[in-house]
Amino acid sequence: MEMVSSTAKAISTLMQINDTSMKIKTKIIGNKVHDVGYRVFLLRKALELGVERFNAYNTNENGVQVLISFLDGDNDQILAFKDYIRNNKPENAEVSDTIFEDYAGYVIGIVDYMHLIQVEQLSKGIPAILSIDRKQDRMLEKQDQTRTEISSEIRELRRDLRSYLDEKLLKIENDIFQIKAKIGLKA
């Protein structure tokens, strides 16, 4: 009987904890809310607050950038999150409006969301790395071509210089020979 009573109390406590859980949907609207690190900015704050469920994504509504986030937390976490959003934004963000509303749907676990963000960032980064790699290959090819051209030009200059110096040396030897002949020295 005591075991049933303690189990019932535990279930009752869990139900009370679940009753204090709230969910909000936040829409951050503006000319520049995408590609400024806003989702990671909000994720960091959610982690700081100890939130266990969080999600965010970028979208467009009527040609305007919108960031939508979902947070599942207790009342204090929700209030702190709202306050943070009202008073802070990433450095290059341009926000025109922020809308908070209750939300009843599922919110992904914050750890799963972090994995999702990592995969998304990798999917952005890999094409950039490949592009850099291709550019580097082209740059190395150009460098090799330039080195070949410079080596060829140096060889050509050496030949020209040798020919010029041989010509000058011959002229100097000839001049010395003529001077010696004029002053009666034997060659």
Give yes or no for a contact between 95 and 65, defined as CB atoms under 8 angstroms apart: no
Q: Could you tell me if residue 78 is inside a domain?
A: yes
| 50 DSSP 8-state letter | T
Q: Could you tell me if residue 73 is inside a domain?
A: yes
Q: Could you tell me if residue 180 is inside a domain?
A: no
- Cβ neighbourhood burial of 5 (10 Å; 0-12, 13-18, 19+): exposed
Q: Could you tell me if residue 34 is inside a domain?
A: yes
Number of alpha carbons in the 13 Å side-chain half-sphere of residue 3: 0
Q: Could you tell me if residue 59 is inside a domain?
A: yes
State how far the Cα of 9 lies from the Cα of 7, in Å rounded to an integer: 5
With residue 69 as reference, give the H or E element that holds it: strand 64-73
Confidence at residue 2, expressed as pLDDT on a 0 to 100 scale: 52
Q: What letter represents residue 67's amino acid?
A: L
Q: Could you tell me if residue 168 is inside a domain?
A: no
pTM higher than the cut 0.75: no
Q: What are phi and psi of 171, to 5 degrees?
A: -65, -40
Q: Could you tell me if residue 173 is inside a domain?
A: no
CATH code, domain carrying 92: 3.30.70.100
Tally: H helices and E strands in the chain:
4, 4
At 34, list the tokens. Answer: 């995408």
Q: Could you tell me if residue 125 is inside a domain?
A: no
Confidence at residue 14, expressed as pLDDT on a 0 to 100 scale: 46
pLDDT (tens, 9 = 90+) of the chain, 187 residues, equals 455 555 555 454 544 444 578 999 999 999 999 999 999 999 999 999 999 999 999 999 999 999 999 999 999 999 999 999 999 999 999 999 999 999 999 999 999 999 999 998 888 888 888 888 889 989 999 998 999 999 999 989 888 888 889 899 999 999 898 888 888 887 5
Confidence at residue 15, expressed as pLDDT on a 0 to 100 scale: 46
What is the extent of the structural domain holding 80?
22-108
